[in-house]
Amino acid sequence: MTTTFVLFSLFNFFIIYGSLFYIMNLHVTIKRFILCMLVNALVSVLAYIFPQSIWISIAVSITLSTGLIYLFSKQHMVYFHLLTIYISSILVEYAVLFLVSIFHLSLVVHGSLIVLLLTIIMLGYKKFLTHYNWNQVNLAIRSQMVLFLIATITIIVFYKLIFVTAQKGDIQISITNLIILSSYFIIMITLTRILLFTMMKEQSINAKLIEQQLFNQYMQSLEQVNRDMQNFRHDHANILLSLRGYIENDDIIGLKKYFEEKIVKVEQQTLFKNQLFSQLDRLQIIEIKGLISTKLLLADELSIPISVEVPKMIKDISIDRLHLSRILGVFLDNAIEASASLDAPQINLAFLSMTNEIIIVIENKLLNSEISIQQLFTERYSTKGEHRGFGLSSVRNVLSGYPNITWNSRIENQWFIHEIIIRERITVEGDHM
Amino acid sequence: MRVIICEDNLVQREFIYKEIMNYTSFHEPSIELVLCTNTPDEVLSYLNNYQADCYFLDIELDHQLDGMELAMEIRKKDPLATIIFITTHADRLKLTFTYKLAALDFIVKDTPDQIATQVKEALQAAFEKYIQFAEVVPTELIQINIGERIKNIALQDIYFFETSTIPHKLTLYEKNGFYEFYGRLKDFEEVNPSFYRCHKSFLINLQHVKELDKKKRTVTMSNGAICVISFRAFRELQSRLSAY
Q: Assess B217–A contact: CB distance below 8 Å, yes or no.
A: no
Residue A139 has pLDDT above 70, yes or no: no
Residue A421 has pLDDT above 90, yes or no: yes
Question: For a pLDDT cut of 90, what percent of chain B falls above it?
Answer: 2
Q: Would you state the pLDDT for residue A349?
A: 92
Question: pLDDT band for position A368 (50/70/90)?
Answer: low
Contact B96 A272 (CB under 8 A): no
Shortest distance between the Cα of A306 and any Cα of chain B, in A, equals: 12
Contact A352 B100 (CB under 8 A): yes
Q: Assess A388–B contact: CB distance below 8 Å, yes or no.
A: no
Q: Assess A103–B contact: CB distance below 8 Å, yes or no.
A: no
Give the model confidence (pLDDT) of B121-135 as tens digits.
Answer: 888 888 887 777 666
3-state secondary structure chain A: CHHHHHHHHHHHHHHHHHHHHHHCCCCCCHHHHHHHHHHHHHHHHHHHHCCCCCHHHHHHHHHHHHHHHHHHHCCCCHHHHHHHHHHHHHHHHHHHHHHHHHHCCCHHHHHHHHHHHHHHHHHHHHHHHHHCCHHHCCCCHHHHHHHHHHHHHHHHHHHHHHHHHHHCCCHHHHHHHHHHHHHHHHHHHHHHHHHHHHHHHHHHHHHHHHHHHHHHHHHHHHHHHHHHHHHHHHHHHHHHHHHHHHHHCCCHHHHHHHHHHHHHHHHHHHHHHHHHHHHHHCECCHHHHHHHHHHHHHHHHCCCCEEEECCCCECCCCCCHHHHHHHHHHHHHHHHHHHCCCCCCCEEEEEEECCCEEEEEEEEECCCHHHHHHHHHHHHHCCCCCCCCCCHHHHHHHHCCCCCEEEEEEEECCEEEEEEEEECHHHHHHHHC
Mean pLDDT of chain A: 78
Q: Which residues pair with A416 in a beta bridge?
A: A364, A411
Give the model confidence (pLDDT) of B30-81 as tens digits.
Answer: 888 888 888 888 888 888 888 888 898 888 777 777 788 888 888 888 777 8
CB-closest option in B181, B182, B225 to A381 = B225
Higher-scoring residue by pLDDT: A306, B98: A306
* Residues in chain B closer than 8 A to A74 (CB atoms): 165-167
B37, amino acid identity: T
Q: Would you state the pLDDT for residue A420?
A: 94
Mean pLDDT across the stretch A97-119? Answer: 81
Give the model confidence (pLDDT) of A187-211 as tens digits.
Answer: 887 888 888 888 888 888 888 888 7
Q: Which of A82, A283, A255 is nearest to A90 (CA)?
A: A82
Question: pLDDT band for position A359 (50/70/90)?
Answer: very high
Question: pLDDT band for position A236 (50/70/90)?
Answer: confident
Q: Would you state the pLDDT for residue B152?
A: 78
Q: Would you state the pLDDT for residue A167?
A: 67
d(CA A229, CA A212): 26
Q: Assess B224–A contact: CB distance below 8 Å, yes or no.
A: yes
3-state secondary structure chain B: CEEEEECCCHHHHHHHHHHHHHHHHHCCCCCEEEEEECCHHHHHHHHHHCCCCEEEEECCCCCCCCHHHHHHHHHHHCCCCEEEEEECCCCCCHHHHHHHCCCCEEEECCCHHHHHHHHHHHHHHHHHHHHHHHHCCHHHEEEEEECCEEEEEEHHHEEEEEECCCCCEEEEEECCEEEEEECCCHHHHCCCCCEEEEECCEEEEHHHEEEEECCCCEEEECCCCEEECCCCHHHHHHHHHHCC
Q: Would you state the pLDDT for residue A422?
A: 93
Q: Would you state the pLDDT for residue A386?
A: 42
Residue B216 has pLDDT above 70, yes or no: yes
Q: Assess A297–B contact: CB distance below 8 Å, yes or no.
A: no
pTM above threshold 0.80: no
CB-closest option in A311, A348, A408 to B179 = A408
Shortest distance between the Cα of B99 and any Cα of chain A, in A, equals: 8
Shortest distance between the Cα of B71 and any Cα of chain A, in A, equals: 15
Question: pLDDT band for position A45 (50/70/90)?
Answer: confident
Q: Would you state the pLDDT for residue A388?
A: 42
CB-closest option in A359, A412, A431 to B182 = A431
Could you give the angle at which helices A78-103 and A2-23 cross, rounded to 10 degrees?
130
Give the model confidence (pLDDT) of B161-181 as tens digits.
Answer: 998 878 888 889 888 888 998
Give the model confidence (pLDDT) of A55-82 as tens digits.
Answer: 777 788 888 888 888 888 777 777 778 8
Question: For a pLDDT cut of 90, what percent of chain A falls above it?
Answer: 4
B162, amino acid identity: E
Q: Would you state the pLDDT for residue A212?
A: 82
Contact B94 A309 (CB under 8 A): yes
Backbone angles phi, psi at B200, to 5 degrees: -55, -35
Q: Which of A112, A85, A83 is nearest to A96 (CA)?
A: A112
- Predicted-complex ipTM score: 0.75
Residue A140 has pLDDT above 70, yes or no: no
Residue A360 has pLDDT above 90, yes or no: yes
Q: Which A residues, 62 through 81, put their C-beta within 8 Å of a C-beta on chain B?
A: 74
